[in-house]
Amino acid sequence: MSAAVAPSSSPKITQPSLGELFRAFAIVSVSGFGGALPWARRKIVEQKGWMTADEFNEAFALSQFLPGPNVVNFSVVFGSRFGGAAGAAVALAGLMGPPLIIVLILAVFYARFGDLEMLSRILVGITAAATGLLIAVVAKMAMPLFRKRWDWAPPVAIAAFIGVAILQWPLPWVFLVLAPISIALAWVTR
């Protein structure tokens, strides 16, 4: 685990420049209809090789448990790792800038023409596809977890899933109960 994190021992991982960081997050956000997570993983792990599958899981898990929007946090966590404060600012600007402009253009158009009936029908289609993409990325992110000999990890993941999706318990409660258990298990089994 820790050996794979050190840059010197993982020659396959390349370092992005500030310009590349901005471009990557701009593309991720502009492609990211119905959620940017699948696109972030596609760009960072599959296309650029800036992180391994494990490193991506870890960085995203951290972002998810910080307050605020997950993908926004992720851009800051990722950007700061590769470029300090400037990297964080550049990745955030790439993530938020283009959609901010697009959404304002849409709002101005809507104020003038206002056919939300059509917009919501388009949305039904896009959401169906976005859901499929999210399922695919969950499967991909689960693979390193279920492949390893961390016997406790798959049951914890399944318990979190059941708690929120099936039993519909509030997410903060599920997290507050499961996270300490999971961390304790990680501590003990290491």
Contacting other proteins within 61-90 (CB under 8 A):
61-73, 76-77, 80-81, 85, 88
Nearest-CA neighbor of 171 among 180, 163, 159?
163
For other proteins, the closer CB: 20 or 152: 152
Contact mark string toward other proteins, 111..130, x via CB under 8 A: -----x-xxxxxxxxxxxxx
Q: How far is the CB of 17 from other proteins (least distance, A)?
A: 19
Q: How far, in whole angstroms, is CA 2 from its chain's centroid? A: 22
Buried b (16+ CB within 10 A) or exposed e, 6-32: eeeeeeebeebebebbbebbbbbbbeb
Residues in contact with other proteins, total (CB under 8 A)?
102
The whole-angstrom separation of Cα 40 and Cα 30 is 11
Choose which of 145, 149, 151, 173 interacts with other proteins (CB under 8 A).
145
Q: Which residues, 35 to 64, sit near other proteins by CB under 8 A?
A: 35-38, 46, 57-58, 60-64
The single residue among 4, 15, 100, 173 that binds other proteins, judged by CB under 8 A, is 100
Nearer to other proteins, 15 or 129 (CB): 129
* H-type alpha helices, the chain: 2-5, 18-31, 37-41, 53-64, 70-113, 116-147, 153-161, 171-189
Minimum CB distance to other proteins smaller for 5 or for 14: 5
> Which residues have CB under 8 Å from 78's CB, separation 6+?
44, 51, 59, 91
Q: Does 7 bind other proteins (CB under 8 A)?
A: no
